A and B are shown apart, each in its own frame.
Chain A
């Protein structure tokens, strides 16, 4: 739309808050963090576990106080759907594209342009609704949510108001072992479809702002939880489970840094035993699971402290921002009474009617979801720690499933994946799909070690080779002549040679310094280029070393 020039919006007092965050009526301008590696929830968890060990805000007195209070936490999550085109027009969306390069009259809100629903949005919403055990509305509709903001081209957001596509569900979560573990079920109030807004770009000197409408009209699902969570880790795990869910379903990349998954937390506290809820505070700008957990823990402490000091009138209904640098929440804006969005049915779109057959067809096509996987792995005898690691990443769990269905030993497969493979992925900053190793070759590798074709040590070398360059175990063993030496005569020859080459050490050994047996074993292994069967090697070596005594 070369015809339309995007103007600067001259603003000065637009900046309502001290930081670079942009206040707006219903949300936050999400800043992108410059983090290249996408952390998994587990990795984040480990970080947050460390952070908990060095608390800045929690003193012993607060810890004591916290025991008398209970926090009530609910989360609103926005999930960006990875449909090929936007919700109501045929523009594609790709994160990070040049501003205003993926726009059309519809998503720009030009006069006369009309929205047409992308049916994939409904399909994805139904998938998520089913995965969250919701009741689906076979006849739902879109409504207009009206407010003015420069990133909202039409002056209203197409959303769903009184009849969301899905409602009344739940999600099951297994808490990490390092946080005491345990199974939780959190209620889901509703799931509805809506469109994303554009983004504002602010110039350095803040004299004007520019509008980027690439993101305008990108489909979102808003998932609202029941206020069922009580702690930061429960909330972080809830959010992580939603991420796993949308990734398992393939409906979103769930990337928090890019804003594909955004969490707004509502939190209040009350003394244990009290029925009445406390004043609710909303927290925004949570860019990772660990910040969800930490922001909540901070906010609970802040509210408990105020309450216990008789200053509960200072807990007011407001929106607070999580300041990652300062590790605390700060006031963004106080509520000036309820905003009136003047919802009414969207007249440009017909109602959304789905048939029972359509829903059943989608239900039948759902993949195995994280909770089902965890229960299945549990039955297979894996520990919860292993289960949580393996099921955290949909690609890892698929790799693992492919490995064990290829006949690999369950425990061995898990250990290889969680050990050397995970370490390699972390070092090389690769995903399991990016490494060259295939599940079939991992099966082969495990079998080759088990049946003695190659030694465990060689196995590791082969593994790294396979991860880096690909190929097959058989090919590599053949090509590099890596078959384990199990012939005692051959090993004996090498032992003899090593003993003959090291008379000094032999003397030391025989004079009682038997510890240096390890030296001899190492030399023989080196002589065999790592191929000697270690058990056989040690047997023969010991026999030889002790022979003349």
Chain B
């Protein structure tokens, strides 16, 4: 009886009733630097998100000042980079920042991303900003709803700073396929940032925002991360809801994260992950506490990755891959070896089959997904005298050439009489790729490859050679076919003329094991000597 009373009395204490905000606990733990691996914020100083949080909570700075400094850098660099298709009006951003400052003043609960400026790829729906997917057919289109990932960002306190440029509907590897503008690479303005999430990668690289989200159908987060020298995280298919992501190839599309550190990418992923009743393909698995994986540099033992089995995919370090990229990756492998990993070589006979299979499947699904852009309900409509011209003219005028190319390929591959030879065979290859990965990931904890066969191309270099551009996706597409998570992080540079261009290392993990990738990636990143991945464009400020 007394026990029951005790319970009641403690419940009556209103402070105990107040539940922490969404995912508040994990960040608290981060903040508190809990045992067994004592973690101080200073130890994780390469995390911009945690640095911001610390400086806000300690009243060192305000969210408004922070937002102002990012916005001024954004304005200054944007004329060179053109990474944003839409930037939020300054007053909107500052209004949100003021609200955060007010909460800090009142000691209210802060979301893990409070005051963090986030860029959102323009194929992810935002109700208060246009969402064009880089296509003229959706010019000025404003969705009536937020994508689930965007909704979660907002719930976590993030400030959406704008919508980033991309290849139209995510179809491309250079961001030159945008119907609006060409984005430049912050490391060399004459080069592409990669794609299709080139805007999101360039924006984080040039510190126009803290982190950004993109989408990865065949490498669209990882390849631009590699080209721009930032961390790119492609989660397991189903980890993040696709609701509100303008579909390119539904069975391959995932929303991914960009950050200037592994920790930022992980914290961002945690914020947007989780089952969504609006996406039947989103996983019901519990979202782990990704931040738990981060062990501060000072707490590391001498061989912190001892026993971790690393498989280097042999086929990714051979023909068609730049020798300097190969040597960068080999140094990274040596570094992993130093950290205690057991490195072996893995052969992947089906590796090269993934590319054609990917292009058949992605084109097939896209030919179907893009049928809805018919000019009837939204987007640009060309008036016509008859129905077929209404469709034909609206689509001819609204879609760019790369999109048309893929719609044609996909329509062909799905046509009666060709289905078995193309779509069905590609699905068989997909199964083969999945099985190869599964076997390789039973032998190894992670697999290693370059994120791309080269560093960033010159603008215009691949524009008229789609096959050469497609070939550049060889490192990444297999991962989408298998639905696995992969982390790309900068591991070195290649000198091209006067430019130093970053090289990205890709780590592929088992399904729903992003934790392991983040843990290994974070240690790798902190122990990598003599590399700063801040591009010359903004280097003076950091």
- Residue numbers of A with Cβ under 8 A of B are 1-4, 6-7, 9-14, 105, 108-117, 144, 146, 148, 150, 153-156, 211, 338, 340, 342-344, 347-350
Contact = CB atoms under 8 A, between A and B. Distances in A.
B118 interface: no
A150 B386 CA distance: 12
A156 B250 CA distance: 14
Contacts of A1: 144
B376 interface: yes
Contact of B142 (A3, A10, A113): A3
Contacts of A155: 368, 370-372, 374
Contact of A344 (B145, B246, B368, B376): B368
A1 B145 CA distance: 9
A112 B151 CA distance: 14
13 contacts: A1-B144, A7-B381, A105-B143, A105-B145, A113-B243, A114-B243, A146-B371, A146-B414, A153-B377, A344-B423, A347-B250, A348-B250, A349-B281
Nearest to B249: A347
B383 to A, nearest CB: 6
Contact of B390 (A3, A9, A146): A9
Given A347-B365, A350-B280, A10 B384 contact: yes
Contact of B386 (A14, A112, A148, A211): A14
A348 B280 contact: yes
What is the interface residue range for chain B against chain A? 35 or more
B90 interface: no
Contacts of B133: 111
Interface in B250-300: 250-251, 277-281
A144 B133 CA distance: 23
Contacts of A340: 415-416
Contacts of A153: 372, 376-377
B243 A112 contact: yes
B419 interface: yes
Contacts of B383: 10
For the complex of A and B, list the 5 residue pairs with the smallest distance between their C-beta atoms, beginning with the closest: A155-B371, A347-B251, A347-B250, A342-B414, A112-B244
B141 A111 contact: yes
Contacts of B245: 112
Given A153-B372, A342-B414, A10 B280 contact: no
A10 B143 contact: no
A279 B390 CA distance: 35
B242 interface: yes
B510 interface: no
B377 A211 contact: yes
Given A112-B245, A344-B419, A105 B374 contact: no
Contacts of A12: 385-386
Contacts of A110: 143-145, 377-378
Contact of A342 (B147, B280, B416): B416
Interface in B126-176: 131, 133, 138, 141-145, 147
Nearest to B279: A114
A349 B280 contact: yes
A390 B385 CA distance: 54
A155 to B, nearest CB: 2
Contacts of A3: 142, 144
A117 B245 CA distance: 19
Contacts of A111: 125, 131, 133, 138, 141, 143, 246-247, 372-373, 378
A144 B247 CA distance: 15
Given A6-B377, A156-B371, A112 B280 contact: no
Interface string B30-56: 000000000000000000000000000
Contacts of A347: 249-251, 281, 365
Nearest to A108: B377
Interface in B403-450: 411, 414-416, 419, 423
B144 A109 contact: no
Interface in B345-368: 364-365, 367-368
B182 to A, nearest CB: 23
Contact of B377 (A2, A14, A109, A115): A109
B280 A344 contact: no
Contact of A115 (B144, B280, B371): B280
Nearest to B371: A155
Contacts of A344: 364-365, 368, 414, 419, 423
Contact of B378 (A4, A9, A148): A4
